[in-house]
């Protein structure tokens, strides 16, 4: 059976990033953009990461330029923006597509596992998978990282 641990990305600084390295950790995967009205959600993502990191949560930011070109920068520009503007210290991938025929295989798998809810509507769509790599839940971009439904899902995934 395929799990999230079967997929890999490239880090924002060009290194291989196998999701299997997160076995035993729930992971919240978020497609991000630097020039979006929802970009301030980085603050909530950093807070959630810091609050739950000790319990095992990993937040993974996935830059994507598919939504009105709101992530136009190079990987280096994205990384600098995220760290200097929002203090992002969770892992970031290189820019990928998250939707449609060109979507990264992880996103196609999540869509197959969770259905339409996992199809990113916009930047800051959130996908949660468990310690065992099984798809758990998808969250609409407008749901803030600190919202009760996300915190409760993360808490359940941490305890599972």
- Global confidence as pTM: 0.98
Query: Which residue has 């798998």 as its token pair?
Result: 109
Our answer to whether residue 64 is catalytic in this structure is no
**Domains (ranges, CATH) in the chain?**
19-159 (3.40.30.10)
Query: Which residue has 């990987």 as its token pair?
Result: 75
Q: What is the pLDDT of residues 65-100, one digit of tens each?
A: 999 999 999 999 999 999 999 999 999 999 999 999
Return the DSSP state at 97.
Answer: -
Candidate list 10, 36, 113, 147, residue with the active-site label? 36
pLDDT under 50 in the chain at which residues? none
């Amino acid at each position: 059976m395929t799990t999230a641990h079967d997929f890999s990305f490239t880090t924002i600084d060009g290194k291989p990033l196998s999701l299997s390295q997160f076995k035993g950790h729930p992971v919240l995967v978020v497609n991000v953009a630097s020039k979006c009205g929802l970009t301030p959600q980085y603050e909530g993502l950093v807070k959630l990461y810091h609050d739950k990191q000790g319990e095992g949560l990993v937040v993974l930011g996935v830059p994507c330029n598919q939504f009105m070109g709101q992530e136009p920068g190079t990987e280096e520009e994205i990384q600098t923006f995220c760290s200097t503007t929002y203090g992002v210290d969770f892992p970031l991938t290189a820019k990928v597509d998250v939707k449609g025929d060109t979507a990264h295989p992880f996103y196609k798998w999540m869509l197959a596992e969770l259905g339409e809810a996992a199809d990113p509507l916009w930047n800051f769509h959130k996908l949660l998978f468990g310690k065992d790599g099984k798809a758990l839940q998808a969250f609409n971009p407008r749901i803030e990282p600190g919202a009760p439904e996300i915190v409760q899902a993360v808490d359940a995934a941490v305890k599972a």
